[in-house]
Amino acid sequence: MHMLIFGHGYTAAALTPQLVAAGWTVSGTTRADAARVAAAGARPILWPGNEALLRDEISRTDAILIAAAPDIASGDPVLAAFSEDLLRSRAGWIGYLSSTNVYGDRGGDWVDESTQPRPTTARGQARLRAENDWVELARRADLPLTIFRLAGIYGPGRGPFTKLRNGTARRIVKPGQVFSRIHVDDIAGAILASLDRTAADEGHPAATTQIYNLCDDAPSAPELTIETAARLLGLPVPPAEPFAQAAMTPMARSFYAESKKVRNARLKQDLRYRLHYPDLEAGLRAIFAAEEGPI
């Protein structure tokens, strides 16, 4: 079995070793960092460029994962380059990594996959357009499609410990703000569970679209990340900075534009997936142990 991954970045680097261990071969596109892709166990393909090679891969591969983000102006780059090739693909599984930002701001309320998307940022709107474009392509091509809506991703190399040690960690507080997170290893695990479900053919028609929220069980305030990590390190918790007065880049500020809690019941019920890291503390303890040794 072979998987082609468009956009072999942080999430794909966590997924690829697990695929290889399960007997898969993997190819992954990258703009420039072929060595990083190869280090994860995948065959690197530079893209843009190598379009002919990628068309051949699309025609032959068993599964395709799209982890490349859409452009706000021009839309999904994979569809822009390879729509006609994908229409002829006979892949048995296509996965699209989207984001829970398609739900928009809900004032701290709960959302699930039945909630009507209502994105409030340009990035969320681009994500929803890309989702819809993939759904349309899957319908036209009679292909199965699984959309994974990812909450805030964290994991090894993306923990707050280094910033706490060097004194650059900030604890920005916006009253009432809440959001959901997902450890990168649980993203990989959910994708593998989806592949296993497809292989088992448990009654779903071959060409259906499934949507799953990927998040943990415990939505919480963003400042909890710094507070929990500081406690694990035995360091003082940085002082609170009121959001309204905090100096931040537009990108950093945009993460506080939406407040919601995301449910993951469908992930557990349909894919029978059990989270390795059901809350932030479990995930941070694992990162700490990997980087520093057992707690």
Tens digits of residue pLDDT in 202-242:
544 556 899 999 999 999 999 999 999 999 999 999 999 99
What would the pLDDT profile of 97-156 be if each residue is shown by its tens digit?
A: 999 999 999 999 999 999 999 999 999 999 999 999 999 999 999 999 999 999 999 999
Cis ω before 242 (30° cut-off from 0)? no
Q: Please give the residue range of the domain that contains residue 47.
A: 2-154+183-215+263-276
Q: Residue 277 has what pLDDT?
A: 98
Per the DSSP assignment, residues forming a β-bridge with 148 are 97, 212
Q: Give how far Cα 36 sits from Cα of 7, 10, 121, 231, Å.
A: 12, 10, 31, 33
In this prediction the pTM is 0.95
In a domain, 103, yes or no: yes
In a domain, 250, yes or no: no
Percent of the residues in the chain that have a pLDDT greater than 90, as a whole number: 90
Count of structural domains within the chain: 1
In a domain, 117, yes or no: yes
In a domain, 78, yes or no: yes
Q: Residue 290 has what pLDDT?
A: 85
Q: Give how far Cα 148 sits from Cα of 42, 97, 156, 236, 293, Å.
A: 22, 5, 21, 37, 32
pLDDT at position 283 over 90: yes
In a domain, 285, yes or no: no
Q: How far apart are CA 94 and CA 100, in angstroms?
A: 19
pLDDT at position 295 over 50: no
Q: Residue 206 has what pLDDT?
A: 57
Q: How far apart are CA 137 and CA 143, in angstroms?
A: 8
In a domain, 234, yes or no: no
In a domain, 177, yes or no: no
Q: 138: domain CATH number? A: 3.40.50.720
Among 10-24, 99-113, 202-216, 269-283, the range scoring the smallest mean pLDDT is 202-216
Q: How high does pLDDT run on average in the chain?
A: 94
